[in-house]
Structure 1
Amino acid sequence: MAEQTEKAFLKQPKVFLSSKKSGKGKRPGKGGNRYWKSIGLGFKTPREAIEGTYIDKKCPFTGNVSVRGRILAGTCHSAKMTRTIIVRRNYLHFVKKYQRQELNLHSLWLSSLYSLRIEYEGPLSKTVRFNVLKVIPAGSSGGGKKAFTGM
């Protein structure tokens, strides 16, 4: 099933491991020794979630969290925490007094993986509220030149 590195035995809650049959079904949640699901919203289930061995109860593809709320994009700022990253989002704020816009930053704590598609899933832990849906490699944004690269 998965490489056991924790003291507790890791398993997916919706998979029965003591089956006498060795069914290798590919339907979501049926047969085999792996549970995965399609979350919809135009996101394909990654091959690693279908054929991989990792176990994460807070993963939107293999865990028991549902996708809800808004879908955002941002860039990875720090990946020092275990299975958690910090994403920085830049936005413009209009200052009425000076009739100008200023660049503000907002940080989000995410469960999992760098430019990203992220979505709200409610509280996953004390500080984490969002989850990574799709990783967009750097330089493949397709938008020509970047805005605010001098900051």
Structure 2
Amino acid sequence: MTRDIGLKVKEPKEQCTDKHCPFHGNLSIRGKLFDGKVTGSKAKQTITLQKDAPIYFSKFKRYARGTSTIHAHVPECIDVETGNHVLTAECRPISKSVSYVVVEVKA
């Protein structure tokens, strides 16, 4: 049985026993949503993703490319590989650096 997490995303087809899964566990979603590209998946159930954002310099009246790195938890029912585009949602802090959870893998 999958819970309604309050977002219009595709629910995973697999079942899992991960307590930090927003669909099958008891982790609640709140706050911001990030869309980014997965840059690393070496850690256990954790990925790093790169978020690109333009930065405006008023002195030069130009935009520059800015990036930020975010760590996110990957539930057992979602398969993620390096290079995928994913949608992550903010949740309560799971560890020291992880405060986001992967909700959907985009094509």
TM-score range, shorter chain: 0.7 to 0.9
- Picking from 56, 75, 83, the partner of 2:37 is 75
Give the aligned CA root-mean-square deviation in angstroms: 1.3
1:1-151 paired onto structure 2 within 5 Å? 28=1, 36-49=2-15, 54-112=16-74, 113=80, 114-137=84-107
Which structure: greater strand fraction? 2
CA contact (8 A) 1:39 1:45 kept: no
Tell me which stretches of 4 or more aligned residues in structure 1 moved more than 4 Å.
Answer: none
What's the % identity of the aligned pairs?
28
TM-score using structure 2 length: 0.84
Q: How many residue pairs get matched? A: 99
Q: Please, which runs of 5 or more residues in structure 2 have no aligned partner?
A: 75-79
Q: Please, which runs of 5 or more residues in structure 1 have no aligned partner?
A: 1-27, 29-35, 138-151
How far did residue 122 of structure 1 move?
1.9
Instruction: From the superposition, tell whether residues 39 and 60 of structure 1 become closer, same or farther in structure 2 (CA, over 3 Å).
Output: same
